[in-house]
Structure 1
Amino acid sequence: MKRKKLTWLFCLFFAAFFFLVPAVAHASAKDDIGKYDVTVNILKNGDAKVTHEITYNLSKKAHQLTLPQSISGIDDVYAVSVSVVSGSKKIRLKQGTSHKKNTFETKQTNKNSEITTYGNYGTDPLKFTYVYKLRGFVTNYKDCAEVNWRVISNNLTVPQRNVGIHFVLPQKNVRFLRIWNHGNLDTAKTNVSFSKGKVDVSLKQNPAHQSLRCHLLFPETVTSKNKKIVKQHSKEQIEAIEDKKLERSVQQREKKQSTYRLIRFVWLGTVIFSIFLWFIYLIKHPIKQKIAMPDLEYSYDLPKYPAEFAEVILTNDKPTPRAFAAYLLELAFEKKVTIETVPNSKNDFYVKLVDKSILHGNELLKMLFGRVGKKGRFTLKDLESFSQNDKQRLRLSSAFDKWAENILKRAKNTGYYDQQGEKRTRVAIIWCIANIPFAVACICMFLDKLSIAILLVILIIFCGFLLSRLYRNRETYTASGIATRYRLLCLKKTFEDIRRMNLEPVKDKILHEQLVPYSIVFGSSRNTIKALKTNFPAKRLQIVFESYYFPVFIFSDGDYAASLSEGLMNAIAPKKIDKLNTNDDLSIKFKKNLLKKLKKK
């Protein structure tokens, strides 16, 4: 069971690595602008005609959208028009204050302007086109003309992708044309064309609340009809200030990039070093692998451990109700309980308490003898009626789990389980899993260097594949545990085939009080009891077993184990009754079904 859980855990982590990381990154995105394109056509009179083409990606429905725009240093905004393309239909919006569908309104202060549109906007991409004019956009000096405009306002609350800014002069083949950009310029590219009189600025992305300001200088003759004039020479002063800012900005960007390069290479080195140490750990503390077992042989040698331990050693898991049935027989052998058939009943029996000392620290026995039954004894019918109450069934289930946990712990203390090996395996697993998020972060840092990113991906896949292969074939038993398990498997095979054997030559080994409890644990008590009845006379069996638990021999030919197992399972976990599928369990189920059919007929 643990192996299956950890195998699925590996699959889950690697599925998360390849699929969930990008999915989470995508899911975390809310509203954004998929395209933000601004074309500024500068006019001869110093005004500008601006065309915004914006594609909104909304995460939920909205009834209004607002485009904020900075107009600091600009005289006025006029001739505003808005259109939207929804699906294949283009709609021209009307200006007004009614706030009705397919309308827009404008608000303006000295420094900012807002265009708010109204409608029923869904989650499909919305393509808006805003067109307006800016009066007093250009300032003319004696030796140059200047544009200093915050194209993207810091009041824009959503991130933008695929940003394009285009300034088009009313004249081509200009003598000079310079631009300085201020904002988040990590992905910015600028192209200046003197012959076309055009400047193009592009950004892959721009965060929310991050402004982008463009500062242009060009000949004053380009806007010769401009009435916004300052009678002074400013070109050299503006260039000196902007060049100084540019130099400082470049230095800061280079320092930032150098720091980032250092961080990512240190991170890469740390990840690789951690993976290297993980490989060294696996070499120094190898995960022990299973070896092929010899062929099973018939054996009658019973181990020195109690029968309930045998089931734990075989499965490396908590014991089942079948092991508890064997445990009660062992208590009967020790004369601490007695097991007797109920008079006039072929399907029930008494378990009576003889030695009260066994109740100390055993919640399950306390509940069975004190609450399930009466006067220090219980029957299967008592179990059935007690479990009708859900709260009582939960308490009984909890008591059984405590007993099973205690048996598992005691069995592991016998030394069959390689606890040190499992600790080392857990360290290797946790170490490998801990490397994954750091490696993913490193891969994200090196997306611009695909060769490094791909090598990291291959390395992580290899580590996971290697650990998965080693884990699936790992050996969880010590050398003595492997030998004990082999003996138990041989004994189980013997019990399965015992009815075909002549037991007289091995009577000294077979006629042992521990025989029946072990056959119960292996689910072969019916076979064993019938084989004993066939090979030995009843008087001899009574001499050997009577003082302990001879009634089980006459109780439905050995259906004691299956009856108690089924009774307990019905009481504590009725949905898991199908897990009882040994020969004993299947036999009693067959009998019950046959009786039901006969009663119906």
Structure 2
Amino acid sequence: MLTHHTTFADVDYDITNFNVDAHINKNGSLTITRSIDYDFDSDAHGVYYRQNLAKNQKLINQKVSVSTNNGKTIPIKAGNGQNNTYQLTHTDDGYRFKVFHNISEDDEVKVTYTYTITNAVINWRDTAELNFKIIGNGWDTDLDHAKVSVIFNQGKKVSHLKAWAHGDLGGHIEVNRSKGQVVLTDNNVSGDVGIELHAIFPASVTPLNKNIRNEKHKQAVISQEIKLAKEANEKRKQQQLFKTILAYASLIIAVLSSGFFLSKLILAKPFGIKPRKTSELPHNYEIPDVDPVTAQILDDGDYPDERAFTAYLTQLAGKHRLKIEKAKGRKNYRITLLDPTVKQESPFLKEIFDQAGNGESFTTKKLKKIDLEDEFDDWQKDQYHKVQDKDLISRKYKDEIEKTSTQMKVSTFFIFVTFIISLFFATQMPIIPIIIAILGGFNFIFYFIYKRRTSIYTQEGASEVEKVRGFKKMLNDIGNFKMKDVGELIFWEDVMPYAVAFGLSKQVLKELKAEFGEKALQTYFTANTYYWYYGDFNHFEKSFSSSLSKSIGDSSSYSGSSGGFSGGSSGGFGGGSGGGAF
């Protein structure tokens, strides 16, 4: 029988272990000890347990105890809601324990109920029967691990003991006739399914039972359970067939996906010129032949980012074509146009001046509030295509590598998905996830080899990349040599935009101040140039890059006996039993 139960949604907990020890008594009653282990993720006032029974049954001789975090077991007395007391109420459907015990988040609590159910067994003319939903289907959560032990005839031999279990098909029942014991085990028991035990045994085991039916019933029970067992086994066969088909389908998909990709990698011929590794390059003390934006593109082999555009602004300011000054507000700067031809050279910069300002100046604060994602995308593509037009990066090589990279991602996706699917069948077919994992490993190994054999750079491009990376290496190692030996301040003024593009401006500025000194910097540079370059440059760079990032959006990047359980139900009492926390 089912009954409505309240879910206390404010309490978050798991039931990690659910153990039931039951003994069949000679008078047909059933003495039960239930131990329930809770793992709480929130505070709670206590727990409750509901034992549903048939009309002619009673719950007697009840006891409750609690232990917290493996501490001392506390006997719980009947009470009226005080801490460490319980209330037992009786309705037409059965009985309800409400255990008051203060619980804190992360507590592990074990609650043990001991009681006897009268008239649990029916003595028929040809057999005795126990048909009991021994773990009810009225739980607020699933049960991680469940174990049920039922003792017949005080643990002595019961020759004609037969037992069946109903619940999730993954459970197991063990019938030990020599010890008069039935053991049921299952993991991840669905809270709305539970476990039902149906057992028949000689009526001599319960000679004092007064719950008697004067008719034969043994064959009816066996026939019912045979039918349920056949249905369960047929369902298992269907599930197994589905699993087998899915497992081999996963393997076939993985083999085809990986095979196609691997064949392409193996047959691919080397192309492009691979620049030397940075560790193999000497320091380059000469400013690259290319501008800072192109330098970043060559270094990364990808589209330029916000730092590259900030470097472009830095270069324009250094040439006095723009003016950068502190504006009203924290981390707010104003960029003013000094050379009108700049807008003709850069459509993207023109859009910034027109949309974020009055056509002649704008602030970083206003820049944050406008949408320039499409315009920035166009600028990125335009700058990258200029590098390709100079034949430093080959369009053909770039397209081929991107195509292969996409195929790698698709193949890896299929490998990953099929591997996850195969894990569900790992116990029955462990070889399948192993094969798929090996295929995935081959994918990465051969793709790594492919990347080492191919390059997007032309001969001229690879040569320029080495110059750029040697220059970047020099900036990165700044402080290990005398900056004055490399060049005077006029040289380092031209270096700064490259430092911005490479993300090294902070350490370059620090070394400039340390080696040349504040006074020399102020003497050499004009007031405006000194202010924005050396007095407040780091703040401006962060402010502008941050404002531009918000303007273009984060997405602007191109990179019976022993056996299994039966399903259904044999109609045992106790349906709807369960519990929760409050």
Normalising by structure 2, we get a TM-score of 0.67
Q: Where does residue 325 of structure 2 map in the other structure?
A: none
Q: Where does residue 184 of structure 1 map in the other structure?
A: 168
Q: Deviations over 1:540-580 (max 9, x none)?
A: xxxxxxxxxxxxxxxx86676358x49x97xxx9x967268
* Residue type at the aligned position of 1:361: P
* Residue type at the aligned position of 2:425: M
Give the secondary-structure state (helix, strand or coil) at the position aligned to 1:255. Answer: helix
In structure 2, the CA distance between the partners of 1:490 and 1:468, relative to structure 1 (3 Å rule), is closer
What is the alpha-carbon distance in structure 1 between the residues aligned to residue 465 and residue 87 of structure 2?
Answer: 86
CA contact 2:247–2:432 (8 Å) conserved in 1 = no
Q: Where does residue 238 of structure 1 map in the other structure?
A: 221
CA contact 1:287–1:421 (8 Å) conserved in 2 = no
What is the alpha-carbon distance in structure 1 between the residues aligned to residue 379 and residue 423 of structure 2?
Answer: 46
- Which blocks of at least 5 consecutive residues in structure 1 are unaligned? 1-29, 339-349, 375-382, 495-525, 531-555
Aligned pair count reads: 473
Q: CA deviation at 1:416?
A: 3.1
What is the alpha-carbon distance in structure 1 between the residues aligned to residue 97 and residue 189 of structure 2?
Answer: 20
Give the secondary-structure state (helix, strand or coil) at the position aligned to 2:153. Answer: coil
Q: Where does residue 333 of structure 2 map in the other structure?
A: none
Paired-residue identity, %: 17
Q: Where does residue 567 of structure 2 map in the other structure?
A: none
Q: Give the one of 274, 277, 285 matched to 2:260.
A: 277
Q: Where does residue 424 of structure 1 map in the other structure?
A: 403
Give the secondary-structure state (helix, strand or coil) at the position aligned to 1:265. Answer: helix
What is the alpha-carbon distance in structure 2 between the residues aligned to residue 440 and residue 170 of structure 1?
Answer: 48
* Residue type at the aligned position of 1:282: L
In structure 2, the CA distance between the partners of 1:594 and 1:447, relative to structure 1 (3 Å rule), is farther
Q: Where does residue 559 of structure 2 map in the other structure?
A: none
What is the alpha-carbon distance in structure 2 between the residues aligned to residue 271 and residue 187 of structure 1?
Answer: 32
Note if 1:467 corresponds to 2:476: no
Give the secondary-structure state (helix, strand or coil) at the position aligned to 1:50. Answer: strand
Give the secondary-structure state (helix, strand or coil) at the position aligned to 1:101. Answer: coil
In structure 2, the CA distance between the partners of 1:413 and 1:133, relative to structure 1 (3 Å rule), is same
In structure 2, the CA distance between the partners of 1:402 and 1:560, relative to structure 1 (3 Å rule), is farther
What is the alpha-carbon distance in structure 1 between the residues aligned to residue 468 and residue 149 of structure 2?
Answer: 87
* Residue type at the aligned position of 2:456: Y
Q: Give the one of 578, 585, 588 matched to 2:505.
A: 578
Give the secondary-structure state (helix, strand or coil) at the position aligned to 1:428. Answer: helix
Q: CA deviation at 1:196?
A: 2.2
In structure 2, the CA distance between the partners of 1:444 and 1:416, relative to structure 1 (3 Å rule), is farther
What is the alpha-carbon distance in structure 2 between the residues aligned to residue 394 and residue 579 of structure 1?
Answer: 27
Give the secondary-structure state (helix, strand or coil) at the position aligned to 2:225. Answer: helix
Q: Deviations over 1:362-385 (max 9, x none)?
A: 6359949x97998xxxxxxxx9xx
Q: CA deviation at 1:354?
A: 8.0
Q: Deviations over 1:338-390 (max 9, x none)?
A: 9xxxxxxxxxxx9975869936836359949x97998xxxxxxxx9xx86x74
Q: Deviations over 1:147-173 (max 9, x none)?
A: 111111110222223322222123533
In the TM superposition, 1:165-176 aligns within 5 A as: 165-170=148-153, 172-176=156-160
Q: Where does residue 218 of structure 1 map in the other structure?
A: 201
What is the alpha-carbon distance in structure 2 between the residues aligned to residue 492 and residue 206 of structure 1?
Answer: 60
Note if 1:163 corresponds to 2:140: no
Note if 1:486 corresponds to 2:463: yes
What is the alpha-carbon distance in structure 1 between the residues aligned to residue 192 and residue 59 of structure 2?
Answer: 22
Q: Where does residue 363 of structure 1 map in the other structure?
A: 349
Q: Where does residue 143 of structure 1 map in the other structure?
A: 126
Give the secondary-structure state (helix, strand or coil) at the position aligned to 2:158. Answer: coil
CA contact 1:322–1:562 (8 Å) conserved in 2 = no
Give the secondary-structure state (helix, strand or coil) at the position aligned to 2:255. Answer: helix
Q: Deviations over 1:93-116 (max 9, x none)?
A: 0113x1111111223334343222
Q: Where does residue 593 of structure 1 map in the other structure?
A: 518
Q: Give the one of 105, 109, 119 matched to 2:91.
A: 109
Give the secondary-structure state (helix, strand or coil) at the position aligned to 1:263. Answer: helix
What is the alpha-carbon distance in structure 1 between the residues aligned to residue 92 and residue 270 of structure 2?
Answer: 73
In structure 2, the CA distance between the partners of 1:309 and 1:127, relative to structure 1 (3 Å rule), is closer
CA contact 1:139–1:146 (8 Å) conserved in 2 = yes
Q: Where does residue 100 of structure 1 map in the other structure?
A: 82
What is the alpha-carbon distance in structure 2 between the residues aligned to residue 269 and residue 213 of structure 1?
Answer: 40
Give the secondary-structure state (helix, strand or coil) at the position aligned to 1:441. Answer: helix
What is the alpha-carbon distance in structure 1 between the residues aligned to residue 281 and residue 103 of structure 2?
Answer: 73
Q: Give the one of 224, 227, 243 matched to 2:210.
A: 227
Normalising by structure 1, we get a TM-score of 0.65
Give the number of the structure with larger relative contact order, counting CA–CA contacts within 8 Å between residues 6 or more apart: 2
Q: Where does residue 251 of structure 1 map in the other structure?
A: 234
Note if 1:58 corresponds to 2:40: yes
Q: Give the one of 34, 42, 46 matched to 2:28.
A: 46
* Residue type at the aligned position of 2:66: V
What is the alpha-carbon distance in structure 2 between the residues aligned to residue 581 and residue 281 of structure 1?
Answer: 45
Give the secondary-structure state (helix, strand or coil) at the position aligned to 2:38. Answer: strand
* Residue type at the aligned position of 2:23: N
CA contact 2:281–2:470 (8 Å) conserved in 1 = no
Q: Deviations over 1:261-293 (max 9, x none)?
A: 222222232223322222123235568575466
Q: Where does residue 21 of structure 1 map in the other structure?
A: none
Find the structure with the greater CA-based Rg: 1
Q: CA deviation at 1:139?
A: 0.8
In structure 2, the CA distance between the partners of 1:55 and 1:74, relative to structure 1 (3 Å rule), is farther
